[in-house]
Structure 1
Amino acid sequence: MLSFLKSLNVLDIISLPGGSSVPVSVFKDIFKNVPEIPTYENFMEIDNEKKGYKLFFEQCREQGIIN
């Protein structure tokens, strides 16, 4: 997960689509069970389209940050 966060080039806050944001500490806690090199599917298994991160992960996939 740390490599994913480094790819985002964020320190404390992750900016999400729609103008919302999440502290990195909260994001790391929610997605603590993803592999070190996570995929879109890894994140979506946890998000399950209920936590509101789908658009964010789709953008990351389109930008080549995750597969």
Structure 2
Amino acid sequence: MPSSATPDILPQGEITFRGRGLAVMQGRRLSLKVCPRCSQRNDRRAAEQGHCHWCAYIPSLADAEPISPGSA
């Protein structure tokens, strides 16, 4: 699982990384849809592995923030 520092309680559902990118967190599984570093939409296989296909970014779950309902 990608992370350098895992918080005690992980946000669930759609998340961003300090307001950038888009990922979906289900339990402890992360699917990175849009990279917060290069802003590219991710390849499906790479997304499911939790890293960016384009720039090889691996997100830190310490930066994860839930997307509030209605802010899409």
Structure 2-normalised TM-score? 0.29
Between Structure 1 and Structure 2, the one with more strand by share is: 2
Structure 1-normalised TM-score? 0.30
Between Structure 1 and Structure 2, the one with more helix by share is: 1
